[in-house]
Amino acid sequence: MPIWKRPIDLAQLNSGAPNAITHLGIEFTELGDDFLRGRVPVDDRTKQPYGLLHGGVSVVLAETLGSVGAVYSSPEGWRAVGLDINANHLRAATHGWVTGTARPIHIGKTTQVWQIDMANEAGELTCVSRLTMAMLAPRG
């Protein structure tokens, strides 16, 4: 059974105004009943000075996927804001794309917790992240 409570589609997610997501080249690539997938290029915009994907960029990808997942899995009018995020960097990425898959661990009324696993093009884990979102009721 799908977790999505609002209409969601890839074209809509990829058509945003210029922001950090578009600047870094992040793309939403797949939607499932209980997951959201996106990727970031490993290029001059996203590498640190030693030629590796910047760890902060992995965190941006994780927070992007988890935040979008939280918004679309909550009722209309609710907002989601990041409360806590951690990331364990497991393997360097030096080229290609890193793809993240976000799945909810907990969808509650006041908080949501998302697991985001990121992998290189060979399918090897590069980073695992856990994101806690605070869910804010509509103002009224």
User: Catalytic residue numbers?
Assistant: 63
Q: How far is 1 from 134, CA to CA, in rounded Å?
A: 23
Q: Give the span between the Cα atoms of 61 and 56, in whole angstroms.
A: 9
Closest to 42 measured CA to CA, from 116, 102, 87, 92: 92
- Burial string for 18-27 (b: 16+ CB within 10 Å, else e) reads eeebeebebb
Task: Give me the amino acid identity at 28.
Answer: F
> Other CB atoms closer than 10 Å to residue 35's CB: what's the count?
18
Q: Considering only CA atoms, which of 87, 42, 76, 68 is closest in space to residue 133? A: 68
